[in-house]
Amino acid sequence: MKRVLRVDQLTVRIVVGMLLLVVAPLTVSLYILSHQHTNHTIETRRQAAESQGRLLEATLRHQMLNKDRELLTTLLEELGSQPEVQNAMILDHSGEIRFSSQAEMVGESILRDSPTCLTCHSKKPEERDRWVVLHGETGEVLRTVLPIQNRLECHACHDPKQRLNGIFILDTSLADVYAQLRRDRTWIMGGTTALALILLTGVGLVIRRLVLVRLGRLGRTARSITSGDLTRRADVDGSDVIAFLANDINDMASSVERLITEVREQEAQLLSVMNSLDDGLVVLDREFRVVAANRSFCRRFGSHPEVLRGHRCSEVIRDEWPSGASDPEVPAAKCLSTGEVQRAVLEISSGNEDPVAVTEVYTSPVFDENGSVVQVVEIWRDITERVREEERLAEIERLASLGVLASGFSHEVNTPLASMLTSAESVLSQIDNPSPQGSVETLLPTIRESADIIRRQVMRCRKITDQFLRFSRGIPPSIEPLDLRDVVTSVVSLVNPTAQEARATIQIQGESSVPAVKANTEVVQHVILNLLVNAVQSLDDQGGTITVRFLINGDVRIQVTDTGCGIALEARKHLFEPFRSRKPQGTGLGLFLSRSFMRRFGGDVRLVESHAEGGSCFEIIFPQAVVEGS
C-alpha cells in the first residue's frame, strides 16, 4: 500500500516561521548592503571625477598663464576617450562651451533654464551639490560640476569683480557601475539563498530530530492511551521541555489508570449492591432508554442487562403492563417534567385462577450540577403479600369500626322492633278479646293497619342490616365510576345513630353536583367511615358538629371537619403510621389503611389542619374527575 506523506500544521508553521526569521533579515541585509555598495561606488566615481576636475583646473590655469591651449585640449580628449566618460567640457560665464572632449560641441551654449541646469540652479548657491545624477537617454549619468575660481593671478586677463572664470563639467556614465552592481547583487542573492537553504535545512533537521519526532512519539502514545491502552507510556529522554511533557503524560496516564480502576471497582460494587436488591431497579435516560438494570428487574422481564440496555422502557415492559393502564413511560415522564418522586400501583393478572399480583413502582429523579433532571430511577416492588395483609387488617379495622357503631345499630334496630311488638300485641289482643259490638268487617282494618306498621318496620330493619352487611364484607379489587354523594349519604346514615348518641350532628355541604370519579366503592366507604368514626370519637361529652364538604377544582376532594379535641403537634408526625393510636381501644390501622387504599388508584388522604384548642380537618383526594357515565 502506498504511503501518503502527511504534513501537519505544526511543521508548516515552523517552516514558515524559519523562512521569516532567516530570509527576512537576509533580504533586509542584502538591500542595505546593496544600497551602501551602490552609494560607495558612485561616491568613488564622483571623487575620481572631482580629482580629474581639479587636475584639469590646474592645467587650465597653467595653460592660461602660459597661453598654451593645446595641452588642455589634449587632456580633455584623452579624458573623453575613457569608456566611462561621456563628455568633459569647460564653460565660460555665458554658458558657451569653450573646451570639450567632443570637438563638435565647442562653441555651443547651455542655457541656465535648461532642465539639466535647473537641477542645480533651482537651489540656492549654498545648497547646491558639486555632483548630481542625471537620467539620460543612455542611462544614468554622474555629472560633476567644478567651478573655476578667479584667483589673483587670473586678474590680468579676467575682471577681478567676477568670482568664477568658468565651470568644468564632467559627465561620467554609471552604466558599468550598475552592471557591476547587478552582478554583485546576483552573487550576493545566490550566496544568500544558498546560505538560507543551508540554514533552513540544518534548522529543519535539528527541529525534526529534537522536536517533531519526539512530539510524534508523544502523540502516538497519547492516542494509544485515549483508545484504552492505559499501560502505554511515553519515552522520557533528556531533561528538556518535551521530556518534562512526556513525564507529565506518563503521570496523567497513571492517574487516569488509577481513577478508571477505582471507577470500575465502584461500578462493580454498585452493580453488586443493585443486584442484591430483591426489588427490580432500572435507570432510564431522558429518552426513556434503559441505562442500567439489576438482576431482579431483568428476571422479571426474562432478559439480561446487556440486552435491555439501550431499549425504550415501553418496549421492555409492554407485555407486563396491564391492559387499559396508562402508558408505562408516563410515571417517568412526570418525574422528568416535575423533578418529583412519582408512584404507581399496577395490578397484573396472570389470566388463570392465580390471584392478581400487585406491583408498586416508584420513580425518582437524578439531577445534574445545574439542577436539571437527566435520568430517572425506577424501583419495581412486588407488594402482593403486603396488599393481602392490608386487606386482612382492613377487615379487622372494619369490624372494629362496626363495633363502635354497634350501640347505635342496636338503638336503631330496637326502635322498629318495639313498634312491631306493640302492633303484634295489639293484633293478638283484638283476636283473643274481640269486642262484643265488633265484627269481622270492623276488625280487619285495625289488623291491616297493625300489619302495615309491622311490614314497614321490618323493611327498616332490613335496610339497616343490609348497610351493616355491606360494610362488613370484603373489598373487591374493582375500580369503577361512582357517585360520591350517594356513597357519602349512605355512610352518614350508617354513622348517624352513633353520632346522635354522642350528641354530634353530621352535615353535608359543598357542591350540589359532584362529578363521578373512578375508584373502588368499598374502599371509599371504608375511608369515609373511618374518618367519621374518628371525628365522633374526638368529641367530648358536650357533643359537637361534623361537616362533610365537597370541593371541586380539577380534582375532587372530600373534607371531613370536626370540632373535637384536635391532634397534638408531636402526634401529627406519626399520624399515618400503623399501630399508632391515641384511643385506648384503637388498632392504629385506620388512617394507615385509608391512605394505602386511596393511593392504589392515585388518590390520597391527608391532614389539612388541626388546632390544639380543638378541631381537625382531613381531606380525601381523588386524582381526576371523569365524565359521568363514561
Domain assignment present for residue 402? The answer is yes
Do residue 110 and residue 142 come from a single domain?
yes
| Alpha carbon distances (Å) from 186 to 23, 27, 43, 174 | 16, 13, 22, 18
Choose the final residue of a domain: 357, 382, 407.
382
Question: SS3 of 332, please?
Answer: helix
Choose the final residue of a domain: 317, 347, 382.
382
Give the domain range for residue 77.
Answer: 9-180
Domain assignment present for residue 341? The answer is yes
| Model confidence pLDDT, tens digit, residues 540-586 | 888 888 899 998 877 888 899 998 888 877 777 777 776 666 665 55
Number of other CB atoms surrounding residue 189 within 10 Å: 14
pLDDT of residue 301: 76
pLDDT at 502 over 50: yes
Domain count, the chain: 3
Residue given cell 496523567 in the structure block: 252
Predicted confidence band of residue 327 (pLDDT cuts 50, 70, 90): low
Domain assignment present for residue 442? The answer is yes
Residue 557 near residue 545 (C-beta atoms within 8 A): no
Do residue 373 and residue 463 come from a single domain?
no
pTM over 0.75: no
Do residue 300 and residue 366 come from a single domain?
yes
Do residue 425 and residue 530 come from a single domain?
yes
Domain assignment present for residue 131? The answer is yes
CA 109 and chain centroid, separation: 93
Alpha carbons 230 and 226: distance in angstroms, whole number: 8
> Strands, DSSP E only, in 92-241?
97-100, 131-136, 139-149, 164-173
545 contact partners, CB below 8 Å, separation of at least 6 = 504, 505, 507, 562, 563
Do residue 371 and residue 467 come from a single domain?
no
| Model confidence pLDDT, tens digit, residues 94-141 | 778 887 888 788 888 877 766 666 556 666 666 666 777 777 667 788
Do residue 289 and residue 421 come from a single domain?
no
Do residue 455 and residue 584 come from a single domain?
yes
Domain assignment present for residue 270? The answer is no
- 463: domain CATH number is 3.30.565.10
Let me know how long the chain is. Answer: 630
pLDDT of residue 629: 40
Residue 293 near residue 283 (C-beta atoms within 8 A): yes
Predicted confidence band of residue 5 (pLDDT cuts 50, 70, 90): very low
Do residue 344 and residue 434 come from a single domain?
no
- 13: domain CATH number is 3.30.450.20
pLDDT of residue 408: 52
